[in-house]
């Protein structure tokens, strides 16, 4: 149980440090996996929703329908 608490605390701290560096006046977006894992796409930050959407469109466009699909969500940060 202590390992889980450490992981949650570590994840919360990472998100806090990311959001601390952002200008509160300009909205920013990131892509989050539905399983909350990190990958090359989730590490990206976008100035607007459309840029994040375009990134996902390119990613999903390269997949075949038989590929195992990870679901992503665009969130404002």
pLDDT in tens, 21-36: 555 557 799 999 999 9
> Is 13 within the bounds of a domain?
no
Q: What is the mean pLDDT of residues 55-59?
A: 92
> Is 11 within the bounds of a domain?
no
Residue 36 is predicted with a pLDDT of: 94
Other beta carbons within 10 angstroms of residue 75's beta carbon come to 12
> Is 66 within the bounds of a domain?
yes
Residue 8 is predicted with a pLDDT of: 46
Residue 5 is predicted with a pLDDT of: 47
> Is 6 within the bounds of a domain?
no
Q: What is the pTM of this model?
A: 0.60
| Number of domains forming the structure of the chain | 1
- The range of the structural domain enclosing residue 52 comes to 23-76
> Is 2 within the bounds of a domain?
no
> Is 16 within the bounds of a domain?
no
> Is 68 within the bounds of a domain?
yes
């Amino acid at each position: 149980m202590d390992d889980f608490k450490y992981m949650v605390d570590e994840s919360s701290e990472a998100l806090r440090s990311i959001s601390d560096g952002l200008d509160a006046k300009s909205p920013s977006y990131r892509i989050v996996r539905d399983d909350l894992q990190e990958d090359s796409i989730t590490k990206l930050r976008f100035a607007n929703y459309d840029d994040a959407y375009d990134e996902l469109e390119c990613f999903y466009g390269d997949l075949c329908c038989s590929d195992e699909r990870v679901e992503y969500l665009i969130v404002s940060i």
